[in-house]
């Protein structure tokens, strides 16, 4: 049964995630509305990437439930593969294959998961590169691309199968301010023009907030804020303020791994 169009793209309830015998996140509850750009913020080591692993089925929750488009994230490999075709993921390391051109990298998901003829694949690749402003770079190899260009090629590849949900894992890592602005502008434009839902996991607050509809802050193993970007800027919560203002001292420990293991 298909989910209602008004239901959230992602719903998480009473989630607990463990790694290496330690509880990384607990009591997580959130909804990501369809068509929105939701920013998941927090300091390094706060559990943002662990949350992504639960969304994509790489990590099985210790407790709670994760739903994507109205269905629980499956456990069987076949069902998980089908679900992942509906999720585009932009990795912070890009993951481009160095011996393939930009166009060949973008074509990889199409060749792996469809039986489309080559002329159709070439046309789709051209469309995806055009969407990120890089049609002229189709024949360039990753070593010939700037950091911002490589990130946009990786974005085109993530969009190759037309997934309704896009997940961006630290999309601005290693980019200069101009390239960061280009990438975040693309996130917003593609979200709106393609009718996507986007989750941006990042610690780059100032570059991300102008394009976000909703913001979530994770710290000390839990969600400490959920609301609009304006409400985030006005928050007086000590955990939120320490993160936003870059304060070295405060309730968020610098070495999060040094915390004692949580009770299960």
Angle CA(96)–CA(101)–CA(102) in degrees, nearest 5? Answer: 65
What pTM does this model have? 0.88
Q: For residue 42, how many other CB atoms are within 10 A of its CB?
A: 24
Averaged over 37-43, what is the pLDDT?
92
Q: Looking at the predicted structure, is the pLDDT value of residue 5 above 70?
A: no
Number of domains in the chain: 1
- Which CATH number belongs to the domain containing residue 2 in this structure? 3.40.50.300
Query: Is residue 77 one of the residues assigned to a domain?
Result: yes
Residue 69 lies in a domain: yes
- Arithmetic mean of pLDDT, 10-23: 92
State which residues form the domain around 40: 1-83+200-256
**For residue 261, what are the contacts with CB-CB under 8 A and spacing of at least 6?**
21, 22, 23
The sign of the torsion formed by the CA atoms of 210, 205, 243, 215 equals positive
Q: Which pair of tokens denotes residue 119?
A: 């002329």
> Any idea how long the chain is?
264
Contact 201/47 with Cβ under 8 angstroms? no
Alpha-carbon distance 35 to 37, whole Å?
7
In a domain, 160, yes or no: no
Which of the residue ranges 65-69, 136-140, 215-219, 247-251 would you say has the lowest mean pLDDT? 247-251
Distance (Å, rounded) from C-alpha 107 to C-alpha 92?
Answer: 20
Is 149 inside any structural domain?
no
| pLDDT given for residue 261 in this prediction | 41
In a domain, 152, yes or no: no
Residue 100 inside a domain? The answer is no
The helix or strand, by DSSP H or E, that contains position 53, with its residue range, turns out to be helix 48-55
Confidence of residue 252 (pLDDT cuts 50, 70, 90): confident
223, part of any domain: yes
| Domain presence at residue 48 | yes
Give how far Cα 203 sits from Cα of 130, 189, 217, Å: 28, 21, 9
42: three-class secondary structure by DSSP:
coil
Residue range 177-220, pLDDT digits in tens: 888 899 999 999 999 999 999 999 988 888 999 999 999 999 88
In this predicted model, what pLDDT tens digit does every residue of 55-91 receive, in sequence order?
Answer: 999 999 999 999 999 999 998 889 988 898 899 999 8
Q: What is the pLDDT of residues 119-131, one digit of tens each?
A: 999 999 999 999 9
């Amino acid at each position: 049964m298909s989910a209602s169009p008004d239901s959230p793209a992602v719903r998480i309830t009473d989630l607990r995630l463990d790694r290496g015998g330690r509880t990384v996140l607990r009591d997580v509850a959130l909804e990501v509305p369809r068509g929105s750009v939701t920013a998941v913020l927090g300091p390094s080591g706060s559990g943002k990437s662990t949350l992504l692993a639960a969304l994509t089925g790489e990590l099985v929750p210790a407790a709670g439930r994760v739903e994507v488009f109205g269905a629980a994230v499956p456990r069987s490999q076949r069902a998980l593969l089908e679900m992942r075709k509906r999720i585009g993921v932009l990795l912070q390391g890009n993951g481009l294959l160095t011996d393939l051109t930009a166009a060949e990298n973008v074509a990889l998901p199409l060749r792996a998961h469809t039986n489309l003829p080559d002329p159709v694949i070439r046309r789709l690749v051209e469309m995806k590169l055009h969407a990120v402003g890089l049609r002229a770079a189709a024949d360039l190899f990753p070593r010939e691309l700037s950091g911002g260009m490589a990130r946009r090629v990786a974005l085109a590849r993530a969009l190759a199968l037309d997934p309704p949900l896009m997940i961006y894992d630290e999309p601005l890592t290693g980019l200069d301010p101009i390239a960061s602005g280009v990438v975040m502008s693309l996130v917003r434009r593609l979200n709106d023009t393609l009718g996507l839902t986007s989750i941006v996991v990042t610690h780059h607050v100032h570059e991300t907030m102008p394009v976000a509809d909703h913001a979530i802050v994770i710290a000390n193993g839990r969600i400490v804020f959920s609301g609009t970007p304006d409400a985030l800027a006005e928050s007086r919560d000590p955990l939120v303020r320490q993160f936003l203002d870059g304060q070295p001292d405060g309730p968020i420990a610098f070495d999060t791994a040094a915390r004692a293991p949580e009770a299960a």
